[in-house]
């Protein structure tokens, strides 16, 4: 049962990420800043830590592929970075204490890493010509702040959901 | 170094880097059509997006309506003033259209570059990572949409079709940094002859389109309207793009570059019109020509 719910959750977040940009009041901030919600990255990280590491990385791989095909059209970038960052965070969390507060901060750092990696890749293949300082000011910082707020809101429910999922899977 | 090759993680890493490069190279190629798995995935998620986009559209629409109510009075006064002018304008347009048709008949010239067939569509999603500005709309091949068609809103041109699937298509906005994104444009100067140039690129800092290759001696003023010229072969003529904000000589001083403010807001797009040109496209009648040669 929980397995289907998990699929539905990821599918919903996948679509919701784009709806969030299209419809919610991000336009209020005008074109000064670029705010990017990273619900999927947050969910993958929470799933990796509170659910299962192996399944989390596989989820990152599949969602990354879907993200590339549907949204960006350049296959390969998220396909690699979603699972890679999930793997790195799982290693980091082995050293740190596993709780929501610490994982929230690690997630924000992971999202910053993701943004930076995708920025470098996109500059390399000339999808963007944004300067580095402009990227920091216009995109990275606002995105980190937005995602901090989002993680605080959805972090605890996600943790509960993934822990229940893990329990159910362990029983089988 | 046997140990080096036995390190499973390292091999996985190397293989994944190779796959990454290969996949990026594959998808960056100028492809006529997406592969069928890609099309299938896009259509399937498009279906879900379509279902979820509708209710959110209603909800945000409701809040916007409430916000709009607060300045209804002022708006109404302004609109009433415009309405009187509109009646006159409508009569003028009808007369001119009739006259135009008659004159065309006299000249025996039926089709014009201006004729097009509109296909209405709704935006169901936007690129979630916001690097390249892409929109996904709810009409596809089954509705007659093809690659490279122009996409407009009521206020002007916003982009072109990047790829199509059966039931959805992807729109690339004018603000995308794509060197192949060139649009043949025309600056209207009232009674004087128009000036032609091409739109190449987008100034991200100033949020203006660059209209390049304008002759050095052409006199351009701020506020002059820019429309598509139809010379590019795919877009019809006369689609509004925007108006001139600034003119600068280009880097070598041989041409001028005009900065054009897009008429349409590229950040707030809900409903779009995909424009299908009625006149034959240069690339398309090749098949017909070949058939004749065979005989």
Give the phi and the psi of residue B13 in degrees, each rounded to 5.
-60, -50
Q: Cβ distance B203 to B197 under 8 Å?
A: no
3-state secondary structure of A6: helix
A22 touches chain B (CB under 8 A): yes
Residue B290: pLDDT band by 50, 70, 90 thresholds? very low
| Region of residue A66 (phi > 0: left; psi between -120 and 50: alpha; otherwise: beta) | alpha
| b/e burial code for range A69-79 (CB count within 10 A of at least 16 → b) | bbbbbbbbbbb
Tokens representing residue B18 in the block: 């190779």
Average pLDDT over chain A, rounded to whole?
A: 89
What DSSP state is assigned to residue B229? -
A 84-143: CB under 8 A from B: 118, 121-122, 125-130
Structure tokens, A127: 């999808």
User: A84 to chain B: nearest residue by CA?
Assistant: B13
- Measured between alpha carbons, how far is A141 from A138 in angstroms, rounded to an integer? 7
Cβ-based neighbours of B222, under 8 Å, separated by 6 or more: B243, B244, B245, B246, B247
| Euclidean distance between the first and the last CA atom of chain A, given in angstroms as a whole number | 12
| CA quadruple B257, B258, B259, B264: dihedral sign | negative
Q: Read off the pLDDT of residues B2-50 as tens digits, 9 standing for 90 and up.
A: 565 568 878 888 888 888 888 888 888 878 788 888 889 899 888 888 8
ipTM: 0.84
Mean pLDDT for A102-107 is: 93
Mean pLDDT in residue range B214-233 = 85
The pLDDT > 70 percentage for chain A reads 94
Task: Give A44 or B72, the one with higher predicted confidence.
Answer: A44
- Neighbouring CB atoms inside 10 A of B213's CB total 17
Q: Do B267 and A78 touch (CB under 8 A)?
A: no
Test the B interface: residue of A43, A70, A124 with most B CBs within 10 Å = A70
CA-nearest residue to B266 within chain A is A31
Cβ–Cβ pairs < 8 A, chains A and B: 112
Give dist(CA A43, CA A150) in Å, integer. Answer: 11
List the single range of A113-122, B149-158, B207-216, B281-290 with lowest mean pLDDT: B281-290
pLDDT band at B57 (very low <50, low <70, confident <90, very high): confident
**Residue from the list B28, B37, B204 with its beta carbon closest to the beta carbon of A74:** B28
**What's the rounded Cα separation, in Å, for the pair B180 and B183?**
9
pLDDT value, residue B288: 42
> Does the structure show a pLDDT above 50 at B292?
no
The minimal CB distance from A18 to the residues B49, B132, B207 is found for: B49
CA-based nearest distance A171→chain B, Å: 30
Domain boundaries, chain A: 37-160
CA angle A14, A18, A23 (to 5 degrees): 135
Query: Do B229 and B267 contact (CB within 8 A), yes or no?
Result: no
- Average pLDDT of span B81-102: 89
SS3 of A58, please? helix
Interchain CB distance below 8 Å, B24 and A23: no
**What is the dihedral angle through the alpha carbons of B3, B6, B9, B12, rounded to the nearest 10 degrees?**
130
Q: In which band, very low, low, confident or very high, does the pLDDT at B286 lie, cut at 50, 70 and 90?
A: very low
Q: Do A18 and B129 touch (CB under 8 A)?
A: no
Find the CB nearest A31 among B20, B26, B267: B267
DSSP, res A27: G
Q: How many residues does chain B have?
A: 295
Give yes or no for residue A85 having a pLDDT over 90.
yes
Model pLDDT, residue A66? 92
Which candidate, B278, B293, B292, B295, places its Cα nearest to that of B118? B278
pLDDT at B291: 39
Q: Between B180 and A94, where is the model more confident?
A: A94
Nearest residue in chain B measured CA to CA from A19:
B125
What's the pLDDT band for A82 if we cut at 50, 70, 90? very high
Asked if the Cβ–Cβ distance from A76 to B268 is below 8 Å, we say no
Assess whether pLDDT exceeds 70 at residue B171.
Answer: yes
pLDDT score for B2: 54
Helix boundaries (H) for chain B: 2-6, 8-28, 36-69, 72-107, 286-294
Cβ count within 10 A of residue B56: 15
CA distance B260 to chain A (A): 17
Q: Helix A100-124 and helix A141-171: axis angle, to 10°?
A: 120
Return the half-sphere exposure (C-beta side, CA atoms, 13 A cut-off) of residue B30. Answer: 6
- Domains parsed from chain B with CATH numbers: 182-262 (2.40.10.350)
Task: Decide if A71 and B23 are in contact by the 8 Å CB cutoff.
Answer: no
Q: Is B209 exposed, middle or buried (0-12, 13-18, 19+ CB in 10 A)?
A: buried
Query: Which two tokens mark B58?
Result: 């209603």
* Residue partners of B228: CB distance under 8 A and separation at least 6: B150, B157, B183, B184, B185, B186, B235, B236, B237, B238, B239, B241
In the structure, what pLDDT confidence band is assigned to residue A44 with cuts at 50, 70 and 90?
very high
- How much is the pLDDT for A114? 95
Instruction: Name the nearest CA neighbour of B232 among B157, B120, B144.
Output: B157
């Amino acid at each position: 049962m929980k397995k289907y719910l998990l699929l539905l959750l990821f599918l919903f977040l996948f679509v919701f990420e784009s709806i969030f940009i299209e419809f919610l009041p991000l336009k209020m901030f005008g074109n000064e800043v670029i705010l990017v919600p990273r619900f999927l990255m947050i969910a993958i990280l929470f799933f990796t830590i509170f659910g299962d590491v192996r399944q989390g990385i596989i989820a990152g791989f599949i969602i990354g592929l879907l993200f590339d095909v549907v949204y960006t059209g350049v296959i390969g970038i998220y396909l690699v970075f979603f699972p890679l960052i999930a793997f790195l965070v799982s290693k980091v969390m082995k050293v740190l204490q596993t709780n929501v507060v610490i994982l929230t901060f690690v997630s924000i750092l992971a999202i910053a890493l993701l943004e930076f990696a995708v920025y470098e890749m996109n500059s390399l293949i000339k999808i963007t010509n944004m300067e580095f300082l402009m990227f920091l000011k216009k995109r990275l910082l606002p995105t980190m702040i937005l995602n901090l707020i989002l993680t605080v809101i959805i972090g605890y429910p996600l943790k509960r959901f993934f822990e229940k999922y893990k329990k159910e899977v362990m029983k089988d | 170094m046997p140990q080096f090759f036995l390190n499973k993680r390292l091999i996985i890493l190397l293989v994944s880097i190779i796959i990454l490069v290969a996949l990026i190279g594959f998808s960056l190629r100028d492809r006529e059509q997406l592969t069928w798995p890609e099309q299938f995935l896009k259509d399937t998620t498009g279906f879900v997006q379509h279902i979820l986009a509708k209710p959110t559209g209603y909800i945000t629409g409701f809040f916007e309506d409430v916000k709009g109510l607060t300045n209804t009075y002022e708006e109404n006064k302004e609109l009433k003033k415009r309405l009187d002018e509109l009646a006159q304008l409508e009569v003028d347009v009808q007369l001119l259209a009739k006259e135009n048709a008659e004159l065309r008949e006299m000249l025996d010239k039926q089709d014009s570059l201006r004729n097009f067939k509109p296909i209405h569509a709704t935006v169901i999603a936007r690129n979630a990572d916001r690097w390249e500005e892409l929109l996904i709309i709810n009409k596809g091949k089954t509705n007659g949409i093809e690659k490279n068609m122009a996409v407009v809103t009521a206020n002007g041109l916003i982009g072109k079709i990047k790829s199509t699937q059966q039931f959805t298509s992807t729109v690339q906005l004018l603000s995308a940094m794509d060197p192949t994104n060139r649009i043949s444009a025309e600056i209207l100067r009232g009674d004087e002859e128009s000036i032609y140039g091409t739109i190449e690129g987008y100034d991200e800092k100033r949020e203006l389109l660059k209209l390049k290759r304008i002759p050095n001696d052409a006199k351009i003023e701020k506020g002059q309207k820019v429309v598509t010229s139809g010379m590019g072969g795919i877009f019809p003529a006369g689609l509004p793009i925007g108006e001139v904000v600034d003119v600068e000589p280009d880097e070598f001083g041989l041409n001028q570059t005009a900065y054009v403010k897009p008429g349409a807001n590229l950040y707030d797009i809900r409903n779009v019109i995909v424009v299908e040109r009625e006149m034959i496209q240069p690339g398309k009648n090749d098949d017909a020509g070949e058939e004749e040669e065979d005989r």
